[in-house]
Structure 1
């Protein structure tokens, strides 16, 4: 691995997919706050969201570097993580610290430039991750809730940038889905590595037994139920409840994800799981297109 690629790998660009959550409020306010014909308004919103996306990518990458530096010894024993630039020694600790601070400073500064409130949310995101990295990641359940909170911060940031107050159901859906993904990852790690010292994540021992399966099942059901209620109860969605047509797609996506958690060799990595599974990726694409069409048609 050459030096340039090693530094790029430190940023974990695959994880940037999570930052697309900032566009969710924009998507679900079509024909309510904006319409495709409002070129100037749409352009202004997309520029802000695009800059915020970049800022979040930089900030999130700085957090991942921090975790790599703290977990260097454990990662060196992991069958896959040992190849990460910091764990393998391709990027020194001093260079890692420098890169982390630079990314964090640029990311937060850009957020602050876009919107002061967004800058505050960026600092909140950093604080939540510092709490996670320096102790909370070893506390069962709290570790999962802190990771899930990052998803909610991203969604809230998207709402702030376009000046809307989304339905509380949107935050509930995001929280349930985020917990499902986090608990699903814990489940996959236990399935692949067990709860012994070789699992490389101390908190896994506390998730062993029937607990983690129960948590995955509960959050999967909560995600589907909350999304269904969102399509019915949200004031900004079509009053004829036509968004219900997307519920079967969400259900299939959840069930497919559950199947992969139990059968895939890369199930501990949500982003790899989604992009490497054609049925799941196709379902996400069909859901997105269908949702846009339903919202657009109902706003005409």
Structure 2
């Protein structure tokens, strides 16, 4: 159980992003008139999602190995399996290498170019663990890139060229989530913020509030423009009908950042806050319905 905890399975929910291009690829990669390609496409996406689960867990193990000394001085992180000694350095390192190899091999087998996406993802996260996480703003952009790479990988897996708006929307939304986590970390840590994560001192004060508001506005605006400008979406702009659900999700997340004790763990909020979960499910259902009705 300690090893499973070290793999951080709750974080795997992020890998669902690889399916996003599939939803918006109706009439491009698949069609309601011809469902034969559907099983093959979904299998590819499932394999890519599982590969990212393996690769991301390898990255978390690498991060825990690098930070184990500092984590032992942290009131919460000292309970992590590697820092506490429940998972030995040798076991963590061995599993890390195995998972990274399996993840990259699966990606390459699905589509050779996915190996590049997986490699870039791994390199960015290694850089994050080795120092980028101590550099204000660069730390947030490094984490954000992981979300965008997942969306790109999903498009590559099903051989579609998604609208640049998909990348912009994914990036803006991810940056909002990441900066929201920094906001929550500063709020919950209080005066001890710098002791828990040195970069938090650079986010303290009005700065993080300004970043959060700008990123929220960017996420909302980019999605709005995506629904009306993307060439692969209905010309009658009916995708705008999904905007209230996206708006509610953004505002609900802002509310939780200011009021929830779990706000520094977005993956917890996404799977445990019922209104937020329902808004995500509603958005997926509404998007699919609009696309199918306009097919």
Aligned to 2:15: 19
**Given the two structures, how large is their TM-score scaled by the length of structure 2?**
0.97
Structure 1 gap segments, 5+ residues each? none
Task: Tell me how far 1:131 sits from its aligned partner.
Answer: 1.1
Q: In structure 2, do the counterparts of structure 1 residues 93 and 216 end up closer, same or farther at CA, with 3 Å as the change threshold?
A: same
Aligned to 1:54: 50
Identify which of 181, 187, 200 aligns with 1:185.
Answer: 181
Query: In structure 2, what is the Cα distance between the partners aligned to 1:48 and 1:21?
Result: 14
Q: In structure 2, do the counterparts of structure 1 residues 234 and 40 end up closer, same or farther at CA, with 3 Å as the change threshold?
A: same
Aligned pair 1:200/2:196, yes or no?
yes
Identify which of 159, 162, 173 aligns with 2:158.
Answer: 162
For the Cα contact (< 8 Å) 1:74–1:200, is it kept in 2? no
Identify which of 266, 282, 300 aligns with 2:278.
Answer: 282
Aligned pair 1:151/2:139, yes or no?
no
Q: Secondary structure at the match of 1:202?
A: coil
For the Cα contact (< 8 Å) 1:190–1:199, is it kept in 2? no
For the Cα contact (< 8 Å) 1:31–1:295, is it kept in 2? no
Say how many residue pairs are matched. 295
**Given the two structures, how large is their TM-score scaled by the length of structure 1?**
0.95
Aligned to 1:31: 27
Computed over aligned residues only, the root mean square deviation of the Cα atoms, in angstroms, reads 1.2
Write the mapping of 1:215-234 to structure 2, written as runs, cut at 5 A: 215-234=211-230
Task: Tell me how far 1:192 sits from its aligned partner.
Answer: 0.4
Aligned to 2:94: 98
Query: In structure 1, what is the Cα distance between the partners aligned to 2:204 and 2:157?
Result: 41
For the Cα contact (< 8 Å) 1:62–1:99, is it kept in 2? yes
For the Cα contact (< 8 Å) 1:195–1:204, is it kept in 2? no
Structure 2 gap segments, 5+ residues each? none
Aligned pair 1:242/2:241, yes or no?
no
Structure 1 stretches (4+) deviating beyond 6 angstroms? none
